[in-house]
A and B are shown apart, each in its own frame.
Chain A
Amino acid sequence: MTAPKSAVLRTLYDKIWDDHVVHTSEDGTCLLYIDRHLVHEVTSPQAFEGLRMTGRKVRAPEKTIAVPDHNVPTTEGRETHIDNEESRIQVDALDKNAREFGVVYYPVTDIRQGIVHIVGPEQGWTLPGMTVVCGDSHTATHGAFGSLAHGIGTSEVEHVLATQTLIQKKSKNMKVEITGKLLPGVTAKDITLAVIGKTGTAGGTGYVIEYCGEAIRELSMEGRMTVCNMAIEGGARAGLIAPDEKTFAYCMGRPHAPKGAKWEAAVSYWKTLFTDEGAHFDKIITIKGEDIAPVVTWGTSPEDVLPITATVPFAADFQGGKVEAAQRSIDYMGLTPGMKLTDVKVDAVFIGSCTNGRIEDLRAAAGILKGRKLAPGVRGMVVPGSGLVRLQAEEEGLAQIFTDAGFEWRLAGCSMCLGMNPDQLAPGERCAATSNRNFEGRMGRGGRTHLMSPVMAAAAAITGHLTDIRDIMAETA
Chain B
Amino acid sequence: MDKFTTITGIAAPMPLVNIDTDMIIPKQFLKTIKRSGLGVNLFDEMRYTLDGKEIPDFVLNQPAYRESQIIVAGDNFGCGSSREHAPWALLDFGIRSVISTSFADIFYNNCFKNGILPIILPQDAVGYLMDDAKKGANARITVDLENQTVSASDGKSFAFEVDAFKKHCLLNGLDDIGLTMEKVSAIDTFEKQNAAARPWA
Q: Which residues of A contact B84 (CB under 8 A)?
A: 46, 153-155
Q: Does A303 contact B (CB under 8 A)?
A: no
B-facing residues in A84-125 (Cβ within 8 Å): 86-87, 89-90, 93
Q: Which residues of B contact A49 (CB under 8 A)?
A: 33-36
Q: 1/0 per residue A170-195: CB within 8 Å of B?
A: 00000000000000000000000000
Q: Does A283 contact B (CB under 8 A)?
A: no
Q: 1/0 per residue A130-146: CB within 8 Å of B?
A: 10000000000000000
* Interface residues in A, total, Cβ within 8 A: 42
A-facing residues in B26-64 (Cβ within 8 Å): 30-36
Q: Which residues of B contact A154 (CB under 8 A)?
A: 84
Q: Does A56 contact B (CB under 8 A)?
A: yes
Contact of A23 among B33, B82, B186, B198 (CB under 8 A): B186
Contact indicator B201/A165 (Cβ below 8 Å): no
In the complex, what distance in Å separates the CA atom of A163 from the CA atom of B114?
18
Contact indicator B200/A33 (Cβ below 8 Å): no
* Interface residues in B, total, Cβ within 8 A: 29
In the complex, what distance in Å separates the CA atom of A71 from the CA atom of B176?
29
Q: Does A9 contact B (CB under 8 A)?
A: no
Identify the stretch in A261-269, A322-330, A341-349 within 8 Å (CB) of chain B at 4 or more residues.
Answer: A261-269
Given A22-B187, A33-B194, A46 contacting B34 (CB threshold 8 A): yes
Q: Does A212 contact B (CB under 8 A)?
A: no
Given A50-B35, A90-B31, A153-B84, A167 contacting B180 (CB threshold 8 A): yes
Contact indicator A87/B31 (Cβ below 8 Å): yes
Q: Which residues of A contact B191 (CB under 8 A)?
A: 33, 164
In the complex, what distance in Å separates the CA atom of A153 from the CA atom of B87?
13
Contact of A46 among B35, B110, B177, B199 (CB under 8 A): B35
Least CB distance from A51 to B in Å reads 9
Contact indicator B200/A265 (Cβ below 8 Å): yes
Q: Which residues of B contact A263 (CB under 8 A)?
A: 200
In the complex, what distance in Å separates the CA atom of A19 from the CA atom of B165?
27
In the complex, what distance in Å separates the CA atom of A257 from the CA atom of B186?
27
Q: 1/0 per residue A145-161: CB within 8 Å of B?
A: 00000000111001100
Contact indicator B181/A163 (Cβ below 8 Å): yes
Closest 5 A/B residue pairs (Cβ): A45-B33, A258-B200, A86-B31, A46-B35, A93-B33
- Taking Cβ atoms with an 8 Å cutoff, the residues of B that contact A are 30-36, 82, 84, 88, 110, 113-114, 165, 176-177, 180-181, 183-184, 186-187, 190-191, 194, 198-201
Q: What are 22 A-B residue pairs whose CB atoms fall within 8 Å in the complex?
A: A19-B198, A23-B183, A27-B165, A31-B180, A45-B33, A49-B34, A71-B31, A89-B31, A93-B33, A127-B201, A129-B201, A153-B82, A153-B84, A155-B113, A162-B180, A163-B180, A164-B187, A164-B191, A167-B180, A258-B200, A262-B200, A265-B199
